[in-house]
Amino acid sequence: MRKGQLRRHTKETRVNAKVTIDGHGRASISTGVGFFDHMLELFAKHGLFDITVKCSGDLQVDDHHTVEDVGIALAGAFKKALGKKTGISRFGHSYVPMDESLARSVVDLSGRSSLIFNATFRRAKVGELSTEMIHHFFRSFADTLKANIHIEVLYGTNTHHKIEAIFKSFALAMREACATNKRVTGIPSTKGIL
């Protein structure tokens, strides 16, 4: 079982994140930001990852530090669980519709950090989650995991639907990229390292 855990405790937040990559889609998420919890539960469910995230943050300020630090801690747990990335598929992609919206996510667990995020939202918030923090979550995730992540909402109108499609498509792309492949021997790179 590929498992990883990361604790990130700062003056702004206290985050504990655990990941089992070869899981069953079980989630125990508590960040204090309800819609964000829901998105992380969707990520676990559709990625078939078992994820635990507990965060107490300075929500009296706003949701920025909580979302950012959860992204860092969760990606750090994935990084530990992936280890040297021996035998993984490395690449993953997925298109997911949510009613009128369609999102695409493409992932390369390359060992290099890059994020292309192309999505706009009509609403400033969904529940207590600032929509500008969606981009920031994925930036923190990509930087910490050292992954190349491309996310795009191809079309849609409803902000909730767009964000949900993003998290579901990202879950499926990550599941594909993290999957082991019996035909892959060693590290899936001509450099011999990821």
Give residue-wise pLDDT tens across range 138-159.
999 999 999 999 999 999 999 9
In a domain, 134, yes or no: yes
CA distance 171 to 164: 11
Tokens standing for residue 97: 């519709």
pLDDT at 190 over 80: no
Judging by DSSP bridges, how do beta strands 101-108 and 50-57 pair with one another? unpaired
Q: Which amino acid is at 65?
A: H
| DSSP class per residue in 88-141 | B--EEEEEEEETTEEEEEEEE--SS-EEEEE---SSSEETTEETHHHHHHHHHH
Tokens standing for residue 156: 């849609």
pLDDT at 185 over 90: no
3-state secondary structure of 158: coil
What's the whole-number mean pLDDT along residues 153-176? Answer: 98
pLDDT recorded at residue 93: 98
This prediction has a pTM of 0.96
Give residue-wise pLDDT tens across range 62-107.
999 999 999 999 999 999 999 999 999 999 999 999 999 999 999 9
What's the whole-number mean pLDDT along residues 104-124? Answer: 97
Give residue-wise pLDDT tens across range 38-68.
999 999 999 999 999 999 999 999 999 999 9
What is the extent of the structural domain holding 51? 3-178
In a domain, 190, yes or no: no
> Band of the pLDDT at 135, cuts 50, 70, 90?
very high
Share of the chain above pLDDT 90, in %: 92
pLDDT recorded at residue 182: 87
In a domain, 27, yes or no: yes
We report the CATH number of the domain holding residue 30 as: 3.30.230.40
In a domain, 64, yes or no: yes
Tokens standing for residue 126: 């969904």
pLDDT recorded at residue 15: 98
pLDDT at 193 over 90: no
pLDDT at 187 over 90: no
In a domain, 193, yes or no: no
Are residues 112 and 194 in contact, defined by beta-carbon separation less than 8 angstroms? Answer: no
The total of structural domains in the chain comes to 1
pLDDT recorded at residue 188: 81
